[in-house]
Copies of this chain bind each other. A is one copy, B any other.
């Protein structure tokens, strides 16, 4: 059968001692006492069945067996050490962000460039998925998700509230002579009328929602799609304004009413609590929060 490995602490002590030609020096390097090194080497010698060092008066010398063993061990540890070091900072080489499609295609797509410039050594992989992410099951570093913010074990940073309001193209609005009152919207096609947000908003606006139920369902499942449809003039979408600042700014989308509804959820940056100090995560967090303050803050104020 395969020979079991020798006790690794013994191998470690021997390797250091071989490199230094001294038990005392090896002990220093390993942060232990000379006695411990002596003990471990004796253990290894017993396992090997041959002496590894010749004990000369004031120095130790490798035996032939020791001379053959030492380079292999040194090589092995250097392999481990390098791989480990690379993994620690190599873990910083790629930052994997999981986010909902809409955020990826809007805010993130426009702003990520700035992050890349600040952190040229960090590659960013963006994974878009609408699933609730489980950090234990997916190879993801940070995620941007909406929710109540109640996720045990996860660190979270508030980004913006999941507020929503109807939006449409100016052309579509003009087609019915402008949208003056909330009820006017019902004269237009409603994109994804089954979305509970519609019911909430209309209720907040004081408009009965009975009419909505009759509408054909046409859920596209992602705000980004609906926003595109709305910009193309296909109907009215109910969207989170914070996700479409530039579209709103240049008029591709208009939000006819100041009234925004809110289902209590918000968007958060989340990641495993335990990894809050991992450099690449810290870097992304700091940048994202600052960038948000800059891009949304002035506009939101």
Residues of A within 8 A of B (CB): 2-3, 5-6, 8-9, 11-12, 46-51, 54-56, 63-65, 68-69, 72-73, 75-77, 79-88, 90-91, 94, 96, 135-139, 141, 274-275, 278
* Cβ-defined contact, A91 with B65, below 8 A: yes
Contact B54 A139 (CB under 8 A): yes
Please, could you name 14 A-B residue pairs with CB atoms under 8 Å apart, sorted by A?
A3-B81, A5-B77, A5-B80, A5-B84, A8-B12, A48-B84, A51-B135, A54-B139, A68-B90, A69-B84, A73-B80, A73-B83, A76-B77, A76-B83
Once A49-B278, A54-B139, A76-B79 are accepted as A-B contacts, the answer to whether A6 and B84 lie under 8 Å apart by CB is yes
With a CB–CB cut-off of 8 A, which chain B residues contact A94?
Answer: 64
A155–B91 Cα gap in the complex (Å)?
Answer: 56
Q: Could you tell me if A87 and B68 are in contact, using CB atoms closer than 8 angstroms? A: yes
Docked pose: A11 CA to B87 CA in angstroms? 13
B residues in contact with A68, CB < 8 Å: 83, 86-87, 90
Q: How far is the CA of A54 from the CA of B139 in the complex (A)?
A: 7
Rounded to whole Å, the gap between the CB of A122 and the closest CB of chain B is 14
Distance in Å from the Cβ of A99 to the closest Cβ of chain B?
18
Name the residue on B nearest A72 (C-beta). B83
Say yes or no: A79 contacts B79, CB within 8 Å. Answer: yes
Among B3, B46, B87, point to the contact of A84 (Cβ < 8 A): B3
Residues of B within 8 A of A83 (CB): 68-69, 72-73, 76
For residue A55, which residues in chain B have a CB less than 8 angstroms away from its CB?
Answer: 136-137
What is the distance, in angstroms, from A63's C-beta to the closest C-beta of chain B? 4
**CB proximity of A81 to chain B, nearest CB, Å:** 5
Question: Are the C-beta atoms of B54 and A138 separated by less than 8 Å?
Answer: yes
Complex Cα gap A54–B84 (Å): 19
Nearest-neighbour CB distance to chain B for A41, whole angstroms, equals: 12
Chain B CB within 10 Å — which of A6, A11, A48, A51 has the most? A51
Which residue on B lies nearest to A62, using beta carbons? B139
Q: A5-B80, A76-B79, A81-B2 are in contact. Are A136 and B64 (CB under 8 A)?
A: no
> Chain B nearest CB: distance from A58 CB in Å?
12
Complex Cα distance A90/B49, Å? 10
Question: Are the CB atoms of B137 and A50 closer together than 8 Å?
Answer: no
Q: How far is the CB of A275 from chain B (nearest CB, A)?
A: 7
Distance of A77 Cα from B2 Cα, bound (Å):
12
CB distance from A24 to the nearest CB of B (A): 18
Using A73-B83, A80-B76, A83-B68 as known contacts, say yes or no to A51 and B136 having CB atoms under 8 A apart.
Answer: yes
